[in-house]
Amino acid sequence: MGSMKVRLLGIELDNPIIPASGTFGYGHEFAELYDINMLGSFSFKGTTLHPRLGNPLPRIAETPSGMLNAVGLQNPGVECVISEELPKLAEVFHKPVMANVSGFSLEEYAETCAKLDACSQVGWLEVNVSCPNVQHGGMSFGTNPAMAAAVVRAVKAVARKPIIMKLSPNVTDIVSIARACEDAGADGISLINTLLGMRISLRTRRPIIANTTGGLSGPAVFPVALRMVYQVARAVKIPVIGMGGISSAADVLEMMLAGATCVVVGAANLVDPFACKRIIEALPEVMQKYRIENLTDIIGGAHTWAET
């Protein structure tokens, strides 16, 4: 049987499967269903410096082959996460976990990262730059290379653990933003976050989501995510974590061929809470079908044809 092990920024993972932030809570909810230690790791719910109630309801809408959400980063704040959620997590998950961090200013990003960096359970800091910069007119940090780089420098100044920048796909040139993050000192890139979309109710003739628009995730976005991972992995020298519409072991292999070191599963967890377990269990058979001995051997494999 081949090896599913991969190495992400100095930490060995039993397999490359990581549930996405926002779809796996803080872990203990899913631990009631199965032993989550079978996962490579997971990215816990997006955490901000201060507690957030999130956006008004309704904030989720179905769409063919996907879903829209505008939850609005609802979370109890970093102090509560450290004092309450992480101790509960330690009882059920015995591997390094990825801390997902959001902020609305450079100072908020830095302070939240500094607090989570001190937690022994945290192996990596995944910094979401899809948030609006409240000090500069609400433009998302992740839509501008200079602003994204400024976040990297702010958090690198206070953190010792690897910084992985989570990028928004709602941009014209994802590669320029990834390169700016790398040049500023980022240790890795994760992409894609959700695509901006909306639905309108024919009955009320109004947007279904109270926030008007929301983030599209699910199988519908997989080809877009795959394209962006492929482009970024070819352009940077740091590890890339791929996500967006993954729901099967075959999707995992395709994303790794595009250049992903690890693969994040998001919306599939909301459809089937056993999705990650099912994918991990299916990987050996799919690897055998495609004559893959070690998963690390296929990372970026789809790039080689373009280089010959």
Q: Is 131 a catalytic residue?
A: yes
Q: Which pLDDT tens digit goes with each residue over 215-267?
A: 999 999 999 999 999 999 999 999 999 999 999 999 999 999 999 999 999 99
| Beta pairing class for 122-128 and 60-63 | unpaired
How does DSSP assign 148-208, residue by residue?
HHHHHHHHHTT--S-EEEEPPS-SS-HHHHHHHHHHHT-SEEEE--PEEE--B-TTTSSBS
The C-alpha atoms of residue 131 and residue 165 are separated, in whole angstroms, by 12
Does residue 134 register a pLDDT over 60? no
The C-alpha atoms of residue 67 and residue 197 are separated, in whole angstroms, by 10
To the question of domain 6-307 being in CATH 3.20.20.70, the answer is: yes
Percent above pLDDT 70 for the chain: 96
Does residue 306 register a pLDDT over 70? no
Spell out the domain ranges in the chain.
Answer: 6-307
Strand partners, 214: 197
How distant is the alpha carbon of residue 308 from its chain centre?
A: 32
What is the model's pLDDT at position 140? Answer: 84
What's the pLDDT band for 175 if we cut at 50, 70, 90? Answer: very high
Q: Which pLDDT tens digit goes with each residue over 9-66?
A: 999 999 999 999 999 999 999 999 999 999 999 999 999 999 999 999 999 999 999 9
What is the model's pLDDT at position 136? Answer: 59
What is the model's pLDDT at position 2? Answer: 78
Does residue 163 register a pLDDT over 90? yes
What's the pLDDT band for 132 if we cut at 50, 70, 90? Answer: low
Does residue 176 register a pLDDT over 70? yes
Which is the catalytic residue, given 80, 119, 131, 181? 131
Does residue 131 register a pLDDT over 80? no
Stated as kind and residue range, the H or E segment containing 196 is: strand 195-197
Does residue 133 register a pLDDT over 60? no
Percent above pLDDT 90 for the chain: 93
What's the pLDDT band for 1 if we cut at 50, 70, 90? Answer: low
